[in-house]
């Protein structure tokens, strides 16, 4: 039985997702949390992971560790995105199974679903048709993690569960324009344009595609929900179940940042997938729902960006 004294290892606890989970668990009174930075523990090293878990003996493992990046990074480094993500999760999942860890929570991504699957995306659409080619390497790795957890659950009746979040944003996000995702990139672009006499902001595409965004603390709450309850199925989507156009997102961020210049849409640049919305009815049915609306989440993210603007690390691949 999991309680506030259970020893919980959060892999990737320094990242945006891992740090939100750590923060949320601490706020709920969990005191026995363990983490190791990438300098302290290379999750790609099978022996190092084995030694660490034998020594620390966690009751729960939450896998929030991954090699992540945008379209460019996925396209340029397909081997690393496939191999390194499989190494990380295989080491954690296999050791969790061998050491009889009580619960394992695997975090993936909505990119595991087929490119042309019907909208909104249901869990049962997994492996029904071809993936989006721009991030298939990362997606294939995450699919193997989902299937490993399902296999252990099926064969050994262990409480291994996979959560697939939609597009995440929030505190500790990546704001580097060369590798960040659309929402944090827009925050930075509008902020810098505001500080340059409200210069025009140029954004890619038509602004017509629709996207769903989840504040990272809401994902952390879903992880805690999965921790404190035995979920009846192996795979759950985690999102808001609501989406908006990229154009609507841009005007929302522009208003929050306080930029008053023009937005120019460069329609020579690609739009990407027209729509990507998760069906989150399974999580709703078992009792979890997101709490933070988009405007509130963007405001919290922008406030954090302003406080940390001098120390934000630029990521490169």
* Residue list, annotated binding site for substrate: 189, 204, 211, 271
For residues 3 and 112, what is the distance between their CA atoms, to the nearest angstrom? 32
Return binding residues for NADP(+).
12-18, 107-110, 142, 165-168, 181
Q: Token pair of 310, please?
A: 């001098």
CA triple 70-165-61, angle to 5 deg: 105
Q: Which of 9, 30, 113, 138 is catalytic?
A: 138
**Interstrand relation of 210-211 and 244-245 (parallel, antiparallel or unpaired):** antiparallel
For residues 256 and 5, what is the distance between their CA atoms, to the nearest angstrom? 40
User: Is 138 noted as a catalytic residue in this protein?
Assistant: yes
3-state secondary structure of 180: coil
- Total number of residues shown for the chain: 317
Task: Give φ, ψ of 271 to 5 degrees.
Answer: -90, -25
3-state secondary structure of 60: strand
CA triple 184-146-125, angle to 5 deg: 80
3-state secondary structure of 151: helix
CA triple 82-86-90, angle to 5 deg: 175
CA 242 vs CA 40, 59, 212, 276, 300: distances in Å: 39, 35, 6, 10, 19
Please list the alpha-helical segments (H only) found in the chain. Answer: 16-27, 46-56, 71-76, 78-98, 136-156, 182-194, 216-228, 246-257, 281-286, 294-308
CA triple 285-281-146, angle to 5 deg: 100
The catalytic residues are: 138
């Amino acid at each position: 039985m999991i309680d506030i004294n259970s020893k919980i290892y959060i892999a990737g606890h320094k990242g945006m997702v891992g740090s939100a989970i750590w923060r949320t668990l601490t706020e709920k009174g969990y005191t026995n949390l363990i983490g190791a930075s990438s300098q302290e523990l290379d999750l790609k090293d099978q022996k190092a992971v084995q030694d660490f878990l034998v020594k620390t003996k966690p009751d729960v493992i939450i896998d929030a560790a991954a090699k992540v990046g945008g379209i460019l990074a996925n396209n340029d480094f397909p081997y690393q995105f496939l191999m390194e993500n499989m190494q990380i999760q295989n080491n954690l999942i296999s050791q969790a199974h061998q050491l009889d860890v009580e619960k394992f929570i695997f975090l993936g991504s909505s990119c595991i679903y087929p490119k042309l699957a019907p909208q909104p995306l249901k869990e049962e659409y997994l492996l029904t048709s071809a993936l989006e080619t721009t991030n298939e390497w990362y997606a294939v790795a995450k699919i193997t993690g989902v299937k490993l957890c399902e296999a252990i659950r099926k064969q050994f009746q262990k409480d291994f569960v996979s959560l697939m979040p939609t597009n995440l944003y929030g505190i500790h996000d990546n704001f580097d324009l060369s590798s960040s995702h659309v929402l944090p990139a827009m925050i930075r672009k509008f902020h810098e344009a505001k500080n340059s006499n409200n210069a025009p902001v140029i954004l890619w595409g038509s602004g017509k595609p629709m996207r769903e965004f989840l504040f990272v603390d809401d994902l952390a709450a879903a992880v805690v929900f999965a921790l404190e309850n035995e979920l009846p199925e192996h795979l759950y989507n985690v999102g808001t179940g609501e989406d908006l156009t990229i154009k609507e997102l841009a005007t929302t961020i522009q208003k929050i940042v306080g930029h008053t210049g023009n937005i120019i849409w460069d329609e020579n640049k690609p739009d990407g997938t027209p729509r990507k919305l998760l069906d989150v009815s399974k999580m709703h049915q078992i009792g979890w729902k997101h709490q933070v609306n988009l405007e509130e989440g963007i405001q919290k993210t922008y406030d954090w960006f302003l406080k940390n603007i001098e120390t934000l690390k630029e990521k490169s691949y």
